[in-house]
Structure 1
């Protein structure tokens, strides 16, 4: 099966990377650092990287702040997507989305099942969508999940997603 990339529309995007965790530090934030590394390698700019607590109000406020800043095109989060009581990333982000990119979560779980964690993929929650003309991608916090999401879904389509969001803005 051929992978189709929209190379003609590739552009450098300005990104906010949020690691959502009650325990990670700058030194132990393997997934956030991986996001920064891979995005930078693809020519994207990291406007800000931050580790925030897995608390709904904090997640909401940081996402909202990123969506109203003209200098941020994309928000990428990792962590807080599990099914434990403390994991509130999906419950916080989903109602904020004006448009959900449903295929992202569906394909992420399929790829996780096939290439990474097998049947444990049923526990995986990932979401993407748009708020205030800003693309938002929320991935699980494991470095394997982040690597898979970036390599197979996010990086190949990131410019295309942002171009689609902005194509009819005046």
Structure 2
């Protein structure tokens, strides 16, 4: 599994952003092996190139991106990754927003998330807010990624 953190790698206080470490811990606790972690600034070409490169790696079955999915002009992960999808998994976004509603309330309308299949790799794009991303990983990604990979083999 590859975990790609997109956007600012520090918290507003200047401390290292713990999102990647926390999600790695959640994925490992669920029985996954995180073979690659990447931190990207968040430009369209950089994100698309990184995800496309990870799809062809034999040590990566699933790709999870975190961050860059908001509504700001600089949030381009969805736009960068979506053209790579051979199949879109619209139910993922629906389920995640439903789960997050209980944490984020109506603010969930600004949460953009998506998933799809490229080659034999499921790709999940999650929001960068640590609590929301962690909830999505624990409740959906950790459970569904192995089933999707098995179906694609």
TM-score normalized by the length of structure 1: 0.84
Higher-Rg structure is 1
Q: How big is the alpha-carbon RMSD for the aligned residues of Structure 1 and Structure 2?
A: 1.4
Aligned 1:67-146 pairs, distance under 5 A:
67-113=55-101, 115-146=102-133
Structure 1: how far apart are the matches of 2:5 and 2:126?
Answer: 10
TM-score (norm 2): 0.93
Q: Choose which of 125, 141, 148 in structure 2 pairs with 1:161.
A: 148
* 1:108-129 residue CA offsets vs partner (Å, 9 max, x unmatched): 111111x210000000000011
Alignment match, 1:17: 3
Point out where structure 1 has 5 or more consecutive residues left out of the alignment.
Answer: 1-14
Match of 2:37 among 38, 44, 49: 49
- Greater CA deviation, 28-37 or 103-112? 28-37
- Aligned partner of residue 42 in structure 2, secondary structure: coil
Conserved in 2, the CA contact under 8 Å of 1:128 and 1:135? yes
CA–CA separation in structure 1 for the residues paired with 2:107 and 2:89: 22
**Which ranges of structure 2 fall in alignment gaps of 5 or more residues?**
none
Once the two structures are TM-superposed, the CA of residue 49 in structure 1 deviates from its matched residue by: 0.7
| 1:150, distance to aligned residue in structure 2 (A) | 1.1
Query: 1:36, CA displacement in angstroms?
Result: 0.8
Number of residue equivalences: 150
CA contact (8 A) 2:63 2:124 kept: yes
Tell me, what secondary structure is at the counterpart of 1:72? coil
Deviations 1:38-63 (A, max 9, x none): 11122211111111011011101110
Q: What SS is found at the alignment partner of 2:45?
A: helix
Runs (4+) off by over 3 Å: none
